[in-house]
Amino acid sequence: MNAGRVSRRLAGCMAVGLVALGIAPAVAQNRAEGKLAVAGQSVAITQVYAYATEGFFDRKKLDIVVLLCDAAVPAAAVRDVFARKALTDAGKLHCVRLVIDSDKQVINFEVRHDRFGSRQPGGGSTEHVFEARTFDGKTIAGRARTRSPQKSFDDVPYEYDITFSAVIEPKS
């Protein structure tokens, strides 16, 4: 009877271990390193999330949204700018969000930081660059940066330079 308990416990531990091994590589693949500087204040960007969405210019293709932040983002807020807004407005979260098309071009950007106040920079600009290292539909990796220091609508200076790698979550 004692041997049976030990076997069941050992089997349970092995199952948990195998699940952990399966999850660990996916989590380990998402990494970001770099900085976002706004009005002379730099924050370290350490988190990255990526997901596919319907193509803006070509609905038959997928665009990839990349969210680069200085803190973990709640799961419900990764795809929802309004859910992130309270965190960024309170200074608890600082992010760069890029929409990258199938040609590896940044077609839309948004920079969220409490120093911008109510007018966060965003839109389309060739000054926001993605240099792809991997872009295969499953993983996106490379460098995201501004070509030069930028200014918000209210003349708040900002720039970023971030290297990252992330598993692309499927379109929801």
Tell me the per-residue pLDDT of 26-77, one tens digit each, with 9 for 90 and over. 445 899 999 999 999 999 999 999 999 999 999 999 999 999 999 999 999 9
30-169 CATH fold: Lipocalin (2.40.128)
| Residues in Cβ contact with 114 at an 8 Å cutoff, skipping those fewer than 6 apart | 88, 89, 90, 91, 94
- Name the residue type at position 94: H
- Percentage of residues of the chain with pLDDT beyond 90: 77
Please report, for the chain, the start and end positions of each structural domain, with discontinuous segments joined by +.
Answer: 30-169
Q: Is 0.85 topped by the overall pTM? A: no
Question: 71: buried, middle or exposed (CB in 10 Å: 19+, 13-18, 0-12)?
Answer: middle
Three-state DSSP class for residue 63:
strand
CA distance 32 to 7: 42
Sign of torsion, CA 110 114 81 75? positive
